Amino acid sequence: MSIDLNLQAAATKYKNKQKVKDRFISALIGVFAIVWIFPIVWTIWTSLRPYKDVRANGVFSMPKSLNLQNYADAISRMELPLYFANTFAITIPAVFLTLFFGSLIAFVVSRYSFKWNVSLLLLFTAGNLLPAQLVFIPVFKMYITLGKALGIPRLLYDSPWGVVLIHVAFQMGFATFVLSSYMKTVPKEISESAMVDGASVYVHYTKVMLPLLRPALASLAVLMTTWIYNDFFWALVLMSTDSKRPITSALGRLQGEFVTDYNLLAAGAAIAALPTLIVFFVLRKQFVSGLTLGSTKG
């Protein structure tokens, strides 16, 4: 009995020690968390101050006024609606096609046993990890050659579709992998009974599997939207008309154009970041579960 008590006492001592340690750790992490978000906070702060105020009184002066004027200016002077429209024109089709194609491959690979199932998975996943610059020149040449051959020079180069397709080609691998992992958790019996009922492959996919995939598709959609939205490389090199670029690629130009007007630039950057931030805060659960599916198996 006393031995138990001793053990318990020892355990409690450890627990208390741990509690102290925990408070310290929590405080440390807390301080760091504040430092962590400081750059973002500073940018938002900068965006709320009028340029004239800062020019006259300096960056650290107490603000005479805080308003959203910079945001209004940013929207009108930086042509943000146009760039956002371009962004959506690229992001929405890209996400849709990526999920669609990914689900097709994942479906075949996880529901049917073919010899080349694993090879396909390997191929797609490895493709996702290749550096983007490895493919740039041939893709560019392909785009303009095809365009010239068909008489539509802007078919793929300098067109949102060219950017959409390259995103789809690269991200397909991740989508396939995540969806096939997820599909493995769907009981075989469902598919078996469908096949016994004489369902065609097409019906199997559309009526049986697709509805079950909704949660995974939702999570994946959130992740993909964020990634594709945030990309700026492909639109930069595959488009030559600045007014067709998405907001992230356009930020580079805006930084050059408004280089000294920090407050305006801060507002522009804040607006550009807004969609992903909204998605993150509202759909956080999907975000995390998307990554969960992607990082672990089963």
Partner 1 sequence: MSDLKSGISRRSVLKGAAIGGIGIAAGGSLLAGCGSKATGPLAYGARSVDTGPTAQNEALIAAYTAKTENEVNYNATESNAFQNNLSQYLQGTPDDTFEWMAGYRMQFFAEQGLLADLTPVWDTIGDQYDESYKIASTGLDGKQYFVPKSWYPWGLHFRKSMFADLGLNADNVTNWDEYLKMLDGMKKKGLVGFAAGDKGGWEAMGTFDILNARINGYQFHVDLLAGREKWTDAKVTEVFRHWEMLVPYMNPNVLDLEWDGAMQLLLQKKAGSMLMGSWFGGNFKEQSEADYADLSIMPFPEINPAYGRDTVDAPIDGWCVAANGTNNEGGADFLAFAGDIEGVNATLAAKDAKGALIPMTSANKGQDTSSYDAFQKEQLAVMAEAKYITQFLDRDTRPDFAGPVVGPAIQSWFKNPKDVAKIQDTLQAQWDALPPLA
Partner 2 sequence: MSSTTKNKTKVPRRRAFSKADRTTLSAFVGIPLFFHLLLVWIPAVLTILLSFTYWSGISISRIRWAGLANYKNIFFDTPAFWEALKNNTVWLGWFGLIATPIGILLAYQIDRQIRGHKFYETAYYLPVVLSLAVTGIIWNFLLRPDGFVNGLLGRDIDNAISFFGNYDINLYVILTIASWRHIGYIMLLYLAGLKSVDAALREASALDGATEWQTFKKVVFPSMKPVNVIVIVITMIESLRAFDIVYIIYGSSAGFPILGTLVFQNIAGEGASMKGAAYATILFVLSIGPIIAYLRTTFKSDVQ
Q: Is 138 in the site for partner 1 (CB under 8 A)?
A: no
Q: Given the rule CB under 8 A, which of 118-126, 139-147, 186-194, 285-293 is the region that contacts partner 1?
A: 139-147
| 93: partner contacted, choices partner 1, partner 2, none (Cβ within 5-8 A by kind) | none
Nearer to partner 1 among residue 173 and residue 261 (C-beta) = 261
**Residue 237 engages partner 1 in binding (rule: CB under 8 A):** yes
Rule CB under 8 A: say whether 182 interacts with partner 1.
no
Specify the long-range contacts of residues 217-220, CB closer than 8 Å, at least 24 apart. Answer: 217/99, 217/103, 217/179, 218/286, 219/286, 219/287, 219/289, 219/290, 219/293, 220/99, 220/102, 220/175, 220/178, 220/179, 220/290, 220/293
Which entry of partner 1, partner 2, none binds 134, CB below 5 to 8 A by partner kind?
partner 2
Q: Smaller CB distance to partner 1: residue 108 or 236?
A: 236
Q: Choose which of 31, 193, 242, 278 interacts with partner 1 (CB under 8 A).
A: 242
* Cα dihedral: 221, 224, 225, 226 (round 10): 130
Per CB under 8 A, 108 contacts partner 1: no
Q: Which does 2 bind (CB under 5 to 8 A by kind): partner 2, partner 1, none?
A: none
Closer residue to partner 1 (CB): 63 or 252: 252
Report how far apart, in Å, the C-alpha atoms of 192 and of each of 106, 119, 204, 247, 292 are. Answer: 17, 24, 10, 47, 28
Residue ranges in contact with partner 1 by CB under 8 A: 140, 143-144, 147, 153-154, 157-158, 236-237, 240-243, 252-253, 256-257, 259-260
